[in-house]
Amino acid sequence: MARVAVVTGGTRGIGAAISKALKGAGYKVAANYGGNDEAANKFKQETGIPVFKWDVGSYESCAAGIKRVEAEVGPVDILVNNAGITRDAMFHKMTPEQWNAVITTNLNSLFNMCRQVIDGMRERNFGRIISISSVNGQKGQMGQTNYSASKAGELGFTKALAQENAKKGITVNAVAPGYIGTEMVQAVPKEVLEKSVLPQIPVGRLGMPDEIARCVLFLAAEESSFITGSTLTVNGGQYMI
């Protein structure tokens, strides 16, 4: 029987690429989204992947959402925590609302989502949890104290949860993309990309969503059971650790 995968923020950008790659590899995929009904419905029509709307920043919404997924698709074997937002500002100008929005969606969502599936994974002695962090969670980024803190927090969360569940057949890993050619990055002014971003990337280009999706497929595989607590860095050489 095909394993069930849930991808948060799974109908656009990197998330959409991950959802499609998982389906192509034979998984049963459920794609979560937060607000863009038009994009989600278009994604569903184009891919045949069922979509489920809930707020990953709300524990109660995640509980209800996963309950619905498991009723309609099946018990969750693979969770990809991809949903994320930015609310950029220099720290001395950052508002509590900008801070809290990013921490809630990017970091608190890991607790909200993992808590819904971890018991089932432990009972079945199998699970794959993969969180999409960021190069800016590894090196920091001016104007993104909120985003960098949330993405660095994902890495600590990953290491701790991996240790707790290693003997239960559950792996917990992270992928840290660099600058990927998504709507979020393409919204950056072209001159900023060409003068400030691309010169920092040794390979000289933005990454592609499919390149992140292939990393998720690798970590989700049955054969990747000896890899846990790891961060797979995918940034074109921009930051090497």
Active site residues: 147
| Closest of 123, 15, 140, 11 to residue 70, by C-alpha | 123
d(CA 66, CA 6): 9
d(CA 48, CA 110): 26
Please check whether residue 236 is in contact with residue 202, taking contact to mean a CB–CB distance below 8 angstroms: yes
- DSSP structural state of residue 44: H
The number of CA neighbours under 13 Å toward the Cβ of 82 is 29
In a 3-state reduction of DSSP, which class is residue 18? helix
Determine the Cα angle at 10 with ends 6 and 16, to 5°: 125
Tokens 């009904």, located at residue: 37
d(CA 6, CA 123): 18
Please check whether residue 174 is in contact with residue 154, taking contact to mean a CB–CB distance below 8 angstroms: yes
